[in-house]
Amino acid sequence: MQVSFIQKPALKAFHLEGYAQGTTYHITYYHTHAIIRQVAIDSILNGIDSSLSLYKPYSLINRFNRSTEGIATDHYLKTVVAKSFEIYKETGGLFDVTVQPLVEAWGFGVKHPDSLPDTARISALLKCVGTGKLSLKNNYLHKSLPCVKIDLNGIAQGYTADVLANYLRSKGIQNFLAEIGGELVVSGRRQPGSEKMSVGIEAPGNDPYEPAPYQRIVHLDHGALTTSGNYRKFYESGAKKINHLIDPHTGYSFQTDLISVTVWAKDGITADGYDNALMGMGLKKAMEFVERKKDLGAYFIYTTPDGVVHDTATHSFYTLLQ
């Protein structure tokens, strides 16, 4: 008598990578065959750009910014704006997508100004800032002042990772990692060994070409990781370090003890939505904030007043580091 085994075909790793949103993306997925086409990914990413990218003059977000009253949204814009409202509320306004005029004034936008803004200019711009000046009814995003402009760069990449993840799931893929611009979503495990996926947290001050470029390595099999930091985009004006994370309340860049925050959440849009605001809270408040939230974890790199760099993590995040 012959015993027959029905052997499952082995899963293999497939990699896709390319350019989008002014950065790179990487997808690793495990399947028996290469079933994802690069053109499909690129077309999804182009679609998101056409909606959310400040770098595309024709994008929906730019049309909104140019409009006097608002515009009808698409699915992408609506989803991200709705989530932005939620996080605005949760963070007491520290995350605010209407910060765009300030970001641009400080030289971190698409257009580079000729000079740095003075206090009068900041006060004037602050009048156009505040998520309260936005409202979303049905599919229409309305602004109460024509000068209100939004910048979704703080949340769009995390959301993009979600969109890619959902696409992979829709193709029946269970084990994958989808990353764009350092924001990523993980599902399942490496195959065939079934190890958790490993993700390096970039070490500030280390160069990516250093032998050990990671501050820590995280192991996980579900959820999203995003990082916000002030260690790459900054310049110095006198004694002050001006970074790209602008406080919507004051109009100036956040000056806290945090160098970077890495957030774990169930999905990319949530993680990415919170990371900038946590940077703005400073270590103590950010730690308390995350500990209060279910389904949120965070890892912090910060400096003490004597200039020494330390790191720490919330309870839930710490389990990922083991």
Partner 1 sequence: MSRRSFIKKTTVLTGGLLLHNSMMKAFALDADHRINLGVIGCGDRGKGIMQILKELPTKFNIVAICDVLDFRLKETEKVLPAGSVQSVKQYKDHHQLLDDKNVEAVVIAVPLNLHFNLAKDALEAGKQVYLEKTMTYNIPQAASLINIAGNYPKQVLQIGHQYRYTPLYYKVKEMIEKGYLGKVTQIDCRWDRNWDWRRPVPDPSLERKINWRMYKEFSGGLPAELLSHQIDFVNWAFNTHPTTIVGTGGIDFYKDGRETYDNVQAVLRYGKEGMIGNFGATCANAREGYIFKLKGNKGTVSLLVNEGVFYPEAQTRKELQTVDGVTGATKITWNKDGGMPILTEPTKDGTYYAMVDFHKSIVQKQSPASNVMTGARTAVCVHLANEAIYTNTVQQWKPEYNF
Near partner 1 in 76-115, by CB under 8 A: 106-107, 112-115
Sequential DSSP letters for 27-93: EEEEESS----HHHHHHHHHHHHHHH-TTSTTSHHHHHHH-SSEEE--HHHHHHHHHHHHHHHHTTT
Contact with partner 1 (CB under 8 A): which of 235, 250, 284, 295?
235
When the beta carbons of 8 and 112 are compared against partner 1, the nearer one is 112
| Interface mask toward partner 1 for 36-75; x: CB under 8 A | ----------------------------------------
Cis peptide before 192 (omega within 30 of 0): yes
Residue 70 or 182 having the CB closest to partner 1: 182
292 binding partner 1? (CB under 8 A): no
Q: Is 204 in the site for partner 1 (CB under 8 A)?
A: yes
Integer Cα distance of 286 and 292 in angstroms: 10
Chain centre to alpha carbon of residue 268? 7
Calpha distance 314→301 (Å, rounded)? 12
Q: Of 194, 163, 172, which is closest to residue 75 (Cα–Cα)? A: 163
Q: Does residue 12 belong to the site contacting partner 1 (CB under 8 A)? A: no
Q: What radius of gyration do the chain's Cα atoms show? A: 21
The region of 31-39, 47-55, 57-65, 217-225 touching partner 1 under the rule CB under 8 A is 217-225
If one asks whether residue 200 binds partner 1 (CB under 8 A), the answer comes out as yes
Select the span of 79-87, 131-139, 163-171, 213-221 touching partner 1 (CB under 8 A).
Answer: 213-221
- Applying CB under 8 A, among 51, 131, 227, 256 the residue interacting with partner 1 is 227
Instruction: Please state the φ and ψ torsions of residue 177, each to the nearest 5 degrees.
Output: -135, 125
Using CB under 8 A as the binding rule, whether residue 312 contacts partner 1 is answered as yes
- The residue among 134 and 218 lying less far from partner 1, judged by its C-beta, is 218
Q: How far apart are CA 157 and CA 53, in angstroms?
A: 10
* Interface mask toward partner 1 for 152-191; x: CB under 8 A: -------------------------x-x-xxxx-x---x-
SS3 220: strand
Amino acid, res. 254? F
Please identify which residue in the block is written with the tokens 């790793």: 13
- Per the DSSP assignment, residues forming a β-bridge with 243 are 234
Residues 250-269 binding partner 1 (CB under 8 A) are: 259-260, 262
Binding residues with partner 1: total (CB under 8 A): 69
116 binds partner 1 (CB under 8 A): yes
Q: CA–CA separation, 319 vs 301, rounded Å?
A: 17
Minimum gap (Å) between residue 199 Cβ and partner 1: 4
CA distances for 254 relative to 83, 251, 276, angstroms: 22, 9, 10
Report the interface residues with partner 1, using CB under 8 A: 19, 23-24, 26, 28, 106-107, 112-116, 177, 179, 181-184, 186, 190, 197-202, 204-211, 213-215, 217-218, 225-238, 241-242, 259-260, 262, 303, 307-315, 318
